[in-house]
Structure 1
Amino acid sequence: MICGFDYGTSNCAIGIADDGNIRLLPVDGDKTFMPSALYSLARELITEQVSHGIATGRDDFIALRKPQLQMALRARNELDLVADDEVMFVGHDAFREYFADPEEGYFVKSPKSFLGASGLRPEFVGFFEDIVTAMMQTIKQRAERSTGESLTKTVIGRPVNFQGLNSEQSNQQALSILETAARRSGFTDVEFQYEPIAAGLSFERQLTENKTVLVVDIGGGTSDCAMVRMGPDHLNRDDRTADFLAHTGERVGGNDLDIRLASEQLMPLFGMRSPLKSGKPMPTKTFLDAVATNDVSAITRFNSLETGLYLDQLQRDCAEPDVIGRLIKLRANKQSPQLVRFAENAKINLSDSEAVEVDLSFVENALSTRIARDELADAIERPLERIIALMQDAVHQAGVTPDLIFVTGGSAKSPVIREAVSQVMGEIPLLDGDHFGSVVSGLTEWAQRIYR
């Protein structure tokens, strides 16, 4: 059976064509979108779970991961686990388990953000292969249960660039991880399509006239733009190469907006702007590392022994030691992802409200703060400027002015972002699509075309 697979930074989804109509399959209970998150009682148990789900090439995988599988057995013994115990969770279940016991186990949100990271050693590439495979296996199995058929051929979405630096090498590494994971999950045929182009294909069926459209996909990890000729004369062409006039993309997306909001509006509660006894300004690097949940280097630094010792000294040097104590507690309890998740929820809620109250009692009883929409605008100004620059670059590359701007992606709902786009792009009509479903719908449609 043929499907489109959106392995997204924020959410994952699978679509199939059912009697000519695109239908998304349930992948998280009865929901058709699953948050991109995984929690395991121990890191090594992820590899063990992957080994159980591989149908073809399992012996080769076991030989390749022999050290990790031996460590998984030790972890099972140390945790006193039996064969039937559930040891790995994805989606909403992963968040529930992590929130319940953040200092134990292994939690990762938005693993797609890390796939193109520069300088990943082979063992880390293998580890990310296992994380992605574990998630893909689970999603695919859930989707297959709902249809009663095997999913064998897929088109997976990809950003224009997974990373800004060494983009070609980064892209090859990330695509290799995704393809390896897809094949270990049981897909026999795997192709990729640019996410903004997929989003545009979904939108195109609505057009009654030919238009040049700037497609803007603000995803969780990347923002991608494509200038595409669309409409009735283009819709059913098998070769759309000539219709795609330009595309741009960069590793800046919804996660970056969440992190900026967390750093600007939440980190001051943990001492980022507190005075030092010496009168010197508070160094900010460690506070920024605390919320940089999409940066491997920052996460490693923040969790290092050196940072623990540094924070102990900083608490002695700070004129407000109690607030540094909050940061020490946050680090000890591994609650940084939870803090950024709360910033993300605040960003989402500010789409409909002028201000929101953020309850941080999971860190300290009665701790909270109020964030206004204009404070969100100030916090995300820099990443938003980069997104706008991508749009302008796509228009410049194409050498034509778009007739329409089609925006998709969860963050595209924000009035702050829409206002910024309108200010720069002028009177060009700005249209919305399905902010979460456009990409997977387009991927599914493209899969039907190339595999028919």
Structure 2
Amino acid sequence: MICGFDYGTSNCAIGVKPQDVVQLLAVDGDHAFMPSALYALGRELICEQVGLAMTTGPLRDEFIATRRGPLQLAQRARRELDLGSAAEDIEAVMLVGQRAFDQYFSDPEEGYFVKSPKSYLGASGLRPEFVHFFEDIVTAMMQTVKQRAELSLGQPLTRTVIGRPVNFQGVNAEHSNHQALAILSRAAQRSGFSEVEFLYEPIAAGLSFERTLADNQTVLVVDIGGGTSDCAMVRMGPDHRDREDRSADFLGHTGERIGGNDLDIALAGKQLMPLFGMHASLKSGKPMPTKTFLDAVCTNDVSALSRFSSLETTLQLQQLQRDCLQPELISRLLRLQANKQNQQLVRCAENAKIVLSDAESTRVALDFVEAGLGTEMVKTGLEAAIQRPLQRITELMAEAVAQAGVQPDRVFITGGSARSPLIRQAVARTLGDIPLLDGDHFGSVVSGLTEWAQRIYR
């Protein structure tokens, strides 16, 4: 059967259209959206689980031939962890979705946890073994989502359209896009899809919205997701929606790897890292170096995560602890590093961001780091913290309009982060008095992908 697959930075979803209405399938318990997260007892075991889930044949043979080293390490990891046969229940060694989050929060210092792996797919300078590793993470997640969707549907899914941002990275975009799409393509094939196509996510969101239009309009679609922000100027309406070739209707599009995760990271850096010594005084009178503190919260940057977890950083922090007039603050950062709790810290910032969308203040508790540790956040602090990434998002909107050479008749805004009043206010400041409409903030993209899949595969 044909499906649309939203492999998102924050959530994954699959849609089908058996009749005239798009149906989202259950992929995380009873839920249609699965958080984009994976937890494994050991990172080597991810590769093993991918191979076990693949159907016997040339594709699996090729995979095993390119993964001999990691598969041997997986066998050793099984012995060290005193695990049983590799053919046993997959959830004994690997979890995805909400259960991955739950396991990480309950025991962060054990196992391997990754959130929003889509953020890393276009990273520059990845060695082949790291490309293979990200392929395995994405494949493991796709396999699980597809299997759960097929169980819910009661029949196999064979052809799909997968959403993609305009650009996976802002730097060296062409190479980044090629690398990321190659990873997603291989993952989809190894998950059992016989045909795979891609569609820009803002265009997919626009296709979903277009079904509601009674007349022709030029629409600026703004999709602010967890990892990227994408904008597209599109001619829409009754005279356009049934065309086989829509290329002439797409007047301009922009996108960059900046989204909800960047807002969370900015808030964590500004509001939470001072509790760990970022602005503490040194005995020498020199300013505290901030790079390591920012690395700690930059959870969508694989290089920053590697630096923060390295032995070199541990030694640097130990020296800073000796040089700091408040060494207990640096002790907290060392504890955060040792216990692998930086993802938890950024999740706290994300929760605070959501609360501050409606409230003037909120208490952020960090008891998982230290009993009684926490801080009060206020809405003005959120506004100051996210000013820079928010400005870049509004610049992307203006660039899309400039490319098109016409003003939009209305703005259609979607994506999880688009719910924030601060985002909506920024859109209004940038584009003026143009009607602003909301879509299904989580479901617009997957609905549009499903519509497009039905169109191109029929």
Query: TM above 0.5, one fold?
Result: yes
Q: Are residues 1:351 and 2:348 paired?
A: no
Aligned to 2:30: 30
Aligned to 2:16: 16
Distance 1:448 1:212 in 2: 24
Partner AA of 1:76 in structure 2: R
- For residues 337-372 of structure 1, the C-alpha deviation after alignment (integer angstroms, 9 at most, x for no partner) is 111111111112222222221111011111111111
How far did residue 246 of structure 1 move? 0.3
Distance 1:256 1:361 in 2: 24
Distance 2:208 2:35 in 1: 22
Partner AA of 2:257 in structure 1: R
Distance 2:421 2:361 in 1: 13
Aligned to 1:304: 310
Aligned to 1:47: 47
Partner AA of 1:7 in structure 2: Y
Aligned to 2:283: 277
Aligned to 2:68: 66
Partner AA of 2:63 in structure 1: F
Partner AA of 1:408 in structure 2: T
Partner AA of 2:230 in structure 1: D
Task: Describe the SS at the equivalent of 1:444.
Answer: helix
Q: Are residues 1:106 and 2:112 paired?
A: yes
Q: Which structure 2 residues correspond to residues 63-212 of structure 1 after superposition, within 5 A?
A: 63-83=65-85, 84=88, 86-212=92-218
Task: Describe the SS at the equivalent of 1:183.
Answer: helix
Task: Describe the SS at the equivalent of 1:18.
Answer: coil
Distance 2:387 2:336 in 1: 27
Distance 1:227 1:58 in 2: 42
Aligned to 1:387: 393
Q: Are residues 1:340 and 2:346 paired?
A: yes
- For residues 74-99 of structure 1, the C-alpha deviation after alignment (integer angstroms, 9 at most, x for no partner) is 00000001123510000101011111
Percent identical among aligned pairs is 71
Task: Describe the SS at the equivalent of 2:285.
Answer: coil
Distance 2:388 2:359 in 1: 22
Alignment TM-score, normalising by the size of structure 2? 0.98
Q: Which runs of 5+ in 2 are unaligned?
A: none
- Of 328-337 and 98-107, deviating more is 98-107
How far did residue 279 of structure 1 move? 2.1
Distance 1:149 1:28 in 2: 18
Distance 1:151 1:198 in 2: 20
Distance 1:318 1:399 in 2: 55
Partner AA of 1:398 in structure 2: A
How far did residue 45 of structure 1 move? 0.3
How far did residue 18 of structure 1 move? 2.8
Q: Are residues 1:252 and 2:258 paired?
A: yes
Partner AA of 1:39 in structure 2: Y
Q: Pick closer, same or farther for the CA change 1:355–1:18 going to 2, 3 Å.
A: farther
Distance 2:28 2:434 in 1: 38
Q: Are residues 1:290 and 2:296 paired?
A: yes
Distance 2:423 2:352 in 1: 15
Task: Describe the SS at the equivalent of 2:193.
Answer: coil
Distance 1:178 1:237 in 2: 28
Q: Are residues 1:228 and 2:218 paired?
A: no
Task: Describe the SS at the equivalent of 1:107.
Answer: strand
Which among 213, 230, 247 is matched to residue 219 of structure 2? 213
Task: Describe the SS at the equivalent of 1:21.
Answer: coil
Q: Which structure 2 residues correspond to residues 390-405 of structure 1 after superposition, within 5 A?
A: 390-405=396-411
Partner AA of 1:35 in structure 2: P
How far did residue 245 of structure 1 move? 0.3
Q: Are residues 1:324 and 2:330 paired?
A: yes
Distance 1:215 1:171 in 2: 21
Which among 422, 426, 434 is matched to residue 420 of structure 1? 426
Which among 410, 425, 450 is matched to residue 444 of structure 1? 450
Task: Describe the SS at the equivalent of 1:371.
Answer: strand
Partner AA of 2:337 in structure 1: R
Distance 2:139 2:315 in 1: 36
Distance 2:280 2:222 in 1: 39
Segments of 4+ in structure 1 off by > 6 A?
none
Distance 1:191 1:357 in 2: 45
Q: Which runs of 5+ in 1 are unaligned?
A: none
- For residues 115-156 of structure 1, the C-alpha deviation after alignment (integer angstroms, 9 at most, x for no partner) is 000111111000000000000000000000001100000000
Partner AA of 1:72 in structure 2: A
How far did residue 178 of structure 1 move? 0.1
How far did residue 283 of structure 1 move? 1.1
Distance 1:279 1:268 in 2: 17
Partner AA of 2:78 in structure 1: R
Partner AA of 1:50 in structure 2: V
Task: Describe the SS at the equivalent of 2:22.
Answer: strand
- For residues 385-417 of structure 1, the C-alpha deviation after alignment (integer angstroms, 9 at most, x for no partner) is 111110000000000000101111111100111
- Of 59-68 and 184-193, deviating more is 59-68
How far did residue 61 of structure 1 move? 1.4
- Of 204-213 and 149-158, deviating more is 204-213
How far did residue 111 of structure 1 move? 0.3
Distance 2:66 2:303 in 1: 26
